[in-house]
């Protein structure tokens, strides 16, 4: 049976682990922003063409720092926006937004998309490549021709 002092020490250790988990996850999303920029060939620090943020309740994308993103259970929810053209267009859309959540597990990095797909990765570069692949498939889906 644990004493109060032992319980308090366990609490302090777990509270520190919790703080470190979220700090590491926020840093992971910051790194992901840079990696997606590299994959797309843009400087993610100064680009208006690609941003990480969140999607508000009204469906509008809002650029946000990783530390401002919504935490849900053990996941950090975020959206990635890519502007393909400054000229407004519905088909194909000139702006693509994809919504994700990310968490760290003992097996690596788990990425979930808004549609329910879950993928596991060992490296943040692979996460960035997956997200850019999803954008590529998304834009190809608007072609009236077979673009396999």
pLDDT value, residue 147: 59
Q: What residue ranges of the chain have pLDDT lower than 50? A: none
Q: Tell me, what's the pLDDT at 119?
A: 93
C-alpha span between 69 and 135 (Å, rounded)? 21
* 29 SS3 class: helix
Please tell me the distance from the alpha carbon of residue 39 to that of residue 56, in angstroms, as a whole number.
26
Domain boundaries, the chain: 4-140
pLDDT of 116: 80
The pLDDT value recorded for residue 128 is 95
From 35, 62, 27, select the one nearest 127 (Cα to Cα). Answer: 35
Q: What is the pLDDT of residues 54-72, one digit of tens each?
A: 999 999 999 999 999 999 9
Residues 6+ apart with CB under 8 A from 58: none
Residue 148: predicted pLDDT: 60
Looking at residue 16, its pLDDT comes to 97
Identify the pLDDT of residue 90.
Answer: 78
């Amino acid at each position: 049976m644990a004493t109060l002092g032992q319980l308090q020490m366990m609490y302090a250790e777990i509270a520190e682990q919790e703080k470190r988990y979220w700090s590491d996850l926020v840093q992971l999303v910051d790194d992901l922003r840079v990696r997606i920029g590299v994959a797309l060939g843009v400087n993610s620090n100064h680009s208006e063409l690609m941003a990480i943020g969140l999607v508000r309740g009204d469906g509008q994308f809002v650029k946000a720092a990783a530390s401002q993103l919504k935490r849900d259970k053990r996941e950090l929810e975020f959206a990635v926006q890519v502007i393909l053209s400054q000229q407004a267009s519905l088909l194909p859309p000139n702006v693509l937004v994809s919504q994700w959540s990310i968490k760290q597990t003992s097996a690596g990095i788990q990425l979930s998309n808004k549609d329910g797909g879950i993928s596991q990765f060992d490296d943040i570069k692979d996460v960035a490549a997956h997200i850019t692949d999803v954008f590529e498939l998304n834009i190809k889906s608007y072609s009236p021709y077979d673009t396999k």
